[in-house]
């Protein structure tokens, strides 16, 4: 699907972007891969590891519509991964988060439509489902923009879909590197915000594979949600530092005890497939009439029961300490 094609990744220097590009280059022979992000140092460092002739590095901000239009010239596929994603930072700097995550999404859509990009996948987060923090609210707004964008594209134009998943093991700013840093510094206890807290848990490779899979599956308009395990924060801390005491530090601004991925209110338009869910659009697309219970790969799903919610507390799949270690999730 990506052989001979031109692909642009906003936020290509981030945790997701780098792993996505590594996988792309190992499995396909793309014609051109464009990294689009702001910081020249991160791009310089990335160039040391990714110096293949097809690689291009564009300095640019997703807030800058004109630059995005320029960067997407001749591009076939876009992955929109650029975001401000730290919950507390978004609570204290709401307008900055809105400019990047919402206005940036609008700009990506505009540039993709203008350049007749074939398919766009935007990354979302469980925090966008029933959001309680500004980060999640901006990602929900972004999800809505990408779903609605299919109406602007018409029947033959760009298809836009969303991939929504939970905490990525080991990504920048996440809890595993944080705990490990404290451990390396000789901490006598690990801080946890609440003993009952649960989170969805996905590895970077699983997240990247899910995005690749959904480029093939998408009609446009879906929110794709993978079935992934949950972890209890106490068990995660025990897996990283067996026997070390835990110190309760209280829930942070904008934090939830448990995360939701498919809200109960969306159950009437949520389909369950073998390894994922699809939240179908609630709006009708004027020039497209897709059956979201059957994807472009021919896989079929069933509508979930009314009131069904996919959340990290009621998840049937929980990782134990032993499984966390066994599955190498703490590395």
Ligand X SMILES: NC(=O)c1ccc[n+]([C@@H]2O[C@H](COP(=O)([O-])OP(=O)(O)OC[C@H]3O[C@@H](n4cnc5c(N)ncnc54)[C@H](OP(=O)(O)O)[C@@H]3O)[C@@H](O)[C@H]2O)c1
* Residue 138 lies near ligand X (rule: CB under 6 A): no
Instruction: For residue 15, state whether it binds ligand X (rule: CB under 6 A).
Output: yes
Using the rule CB under 6 A, is 171 a contact of ligand X? yes
Under rule CB under 6 A, residue 136 binds ligand X: no
Q: Which residues contact 322 (CB under 8 A, 6 or more apart)?
A: none
Pick the catalytic residue from 18, 85, 127, 144. 127
- Which of residues 2, 16, 77, 285 is near ligand X by CB under 6 A? 16
Contact status, residue 71 vs residue 32, Cβ threshold 8 Å: no
Place of tokens 């299919």: 150
CB of 13 to ligand X, least distance (A): 4
Task: Give the nearer residue to ligand X in terms of CB position, either 68 or 190.
Answer: 68
Paired strand residues for 88: none
Q: How far is Cα 112 from Cα 164, in angstroms, rounded to an integer?
A: 20
Q: Is 221 in the site for ligand X (CB under 6 A)?
A: no
Q: Identify the H or E element spanning 10.
A: strand 6-10
CA distance linking residue 150 with residue 147, whole number of Å: 6
Binding mask 64-103 toward ligand X (x if CB under 6 A, else -) reads -----------------xxxxx--------------x---
In the sheet with 55-59, reading across from the earlier edge strand, the strands are 55-59, 32-37, 6-10, 77-80, 119-125, 159-165, 223-226, 276-279, 270-272, 302-303
Query: Is residue 39 close enough to count as binding ligand X by CB under 6 A?
Result: yes
- Establish whether 65 is a catalytic residue: no
Residues in touch with ligand X (CB under 6 A): 10-11, 13-17, 37-39, 42, 61-63, 81-85, 100, 104, 123, 125, 165, 167-168, 171-172, 174
Active-site positions read 127
């Amino acid at each position: 699907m990506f052989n001979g094609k031109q692909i642009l990744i906003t936020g290509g220097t981030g945790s997701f972007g780098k792993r996505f590009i590594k996988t792309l280059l190992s499995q396909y022979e793309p014609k051109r891969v464009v990294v689009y992000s702001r910081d020249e140092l991160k791009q310089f460092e990335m160039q040391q590891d990714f110096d293949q002739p097809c690689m291009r590095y564009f300095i640019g901000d997703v807030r800058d519509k004109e630059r995005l239009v320029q960067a997407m010239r001749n591009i076939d596929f876009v992955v929109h991964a650029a975001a401000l994603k730290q919950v507390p930072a978004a609570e204290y700097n709401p307008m900055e988060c809105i400019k990047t995550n919402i206005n940036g999404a609008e700009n990506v859509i505009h540039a993709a439509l203008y350049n007749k990009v074939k398919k766009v996948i935007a990354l979302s987060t469980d925090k966008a489902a029933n959001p309680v923090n500004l980060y999640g609210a901006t990602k929900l707004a972004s999800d809505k923009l990408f779903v609605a964008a299919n109406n602007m594209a018409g029947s033959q134009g760009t298809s836009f879909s969303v991939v929504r998943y939970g905490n990525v093991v080991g990504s920048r700013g996440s809890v595993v590197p944080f705990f490990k840093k404290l451990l390396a510094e000789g901490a006598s206890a690990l801080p946890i915000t609440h003993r009952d807290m649960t989170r969805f848990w996905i590895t970077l490779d699983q997240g990247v594979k899910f995005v690749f899979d959904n480029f093939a599956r998408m009609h446009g308009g879906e929110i794709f949600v993978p079935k992934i395990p949950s972890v209890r924060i106490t068990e995660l801390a025990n897996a990283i530092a067996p026997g070390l005491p835990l110190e309760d530090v209280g829930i942070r601004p904008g934090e939830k005890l448990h995360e939701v991925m498919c809200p109960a209110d969306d159950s009437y338009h949520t389909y369950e497939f073998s390894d994922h869910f699809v939240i179908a659009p609630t709006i009708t697309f004027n020039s497209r009439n897709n059956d979201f219970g059957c994807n472009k790969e021919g896989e079929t799903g069933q509508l979930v029961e009314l009131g069904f919610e996919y959340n990290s507390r009621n998840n049937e799949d929980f990782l134990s300490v032993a499984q966390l270690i066994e599955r190498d999730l703490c590395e």
